[in-house]
């Protein structure tokens, strides 16, 4: 998964994200989404809204390739990838 800060103001943050996954049959998908978070005066999340869309992709069209674990720091961002 790659998340990218979209905007922030006061107690609200919006991010966009994308991730790739495969099902048990080996079919690949890419999912895109947005999340909006609102925090209370103590810094606790008070509201969360999320929207996500996914579509099938060929394994050869994958853009997120790294070993299991944290995304490498030098991996392109969503903006860099044109997503």
Residue-by-residue DSSP string for 18-34: EEEEE-TT--EEEEEEE
Centroid of chain to Cα 15:
8
Stated pTM of the model: 0.78
Buried b (16+ CB within 10 A) or exposed e, 6-28: eeeeeeebebbbbebeeeeeeee
Fold topology of 2-68: Nuclear Transport Factor 2; Chain: A, (3.10.450)
Confidence of residue 82 (pLDDT cuts 50, 70, 90): confident
Look at residue 69 and tell me whether its pLDDT is greater than 90: no
The pLDDT tens digits for 23-65 are: 999 999 999 999 999 999 999 999 999 999 999 999 999 999 8
């Amino acid at each position: 998964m790659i998340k990218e800060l979209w905007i922030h103001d006061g107690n609200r943050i919006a991010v966009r994200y994308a991730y790739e996954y495969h099902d048990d049959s080996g079919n690949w998908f890419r999912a895109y989404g947005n999340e909006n978070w609102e925090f209370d005066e103590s810094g606790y999340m008070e509201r969360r809204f999320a929207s996500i869309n996914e579509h099938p992709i060929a394994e050869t069209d994958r853009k997120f390739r790294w070993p299991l674990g944290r995304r490498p720091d030098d991996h392109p961002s969503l903006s860099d990838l044109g997503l």
